[in-house]
Amino acid sequence: MARHAIIYYKENLAGYLSETDEGYTFIYDDNYLQYKDAMPVSLTLPLQSKAYESRVLFSFFDGLIPEGWLLNVAQNYWKLKGNDRFELLLTLCRDAIGAVSILPQEEEVADV
């Protein structure tokens, strides 16, 4: 079963992250690529129209997931599995520190 996330850079819809049985895909939104001030979500994911693919969660997104005691508190509160990195990302990184936010695709809102 595939799971999907919507990636925002500041207030702008920047792209889409998907998890499938084969791995992960990140692709920038076509409209985002047209913005004159568009910025990559990460230096490791430069702006391009072609999708990025990886067998493991991209290091940038994995790095947004809290660590240590904060991760333990979150796992216990939401009863999350520590090895399900995509679920941790979807649950814990909606209001991540910095310019990037991650929302589960079914929860996209127009005024983020």
Residue 29 within a domain = yes
1 vs 38, more confident? 38
DSSP letter assigned to residue 107: G
Whole-angstrom CA distances from 105 to 51, 70, 91, 108 are 17, 25, 12, 6
Q: Give pLDDT tens digits for 67-102.
A: 888 778 777 777 778 788 998 888 888 877 789 999
Q: What's the domain count of the chain?
A: 1
Residue 25 within a domain = yes
**HSE value, Cβ hemisphere, 13 Å, CA-based, for 37:** 4
Whole-angstrom CA distances from 76 to 7, 80, 82, 93, 96 are 25, 7, 10, 16, 19
Range of the domain at 68: 3-107
Tell me how far apart the alpha carbons of residues 75 and 64 are, in angstroms, rounded to a whole number. Answer: 15
Residue 41 within a domain = yes
Tell me how far apart the alpha carbons of residues 61 and 63 are, in angstroms, rounded to a whole number. Answer: 5
pLDDT at res. 110: 47
Residue 26 within a domain = yes
Q: Give pLDDT tens digits for 17-51.
A: 999 999 999 999 999 999 999 999 999 999 999 99
Q: How far is CA 16 from the centre of its chain?
A: 8
Residue 112 within a domain = no
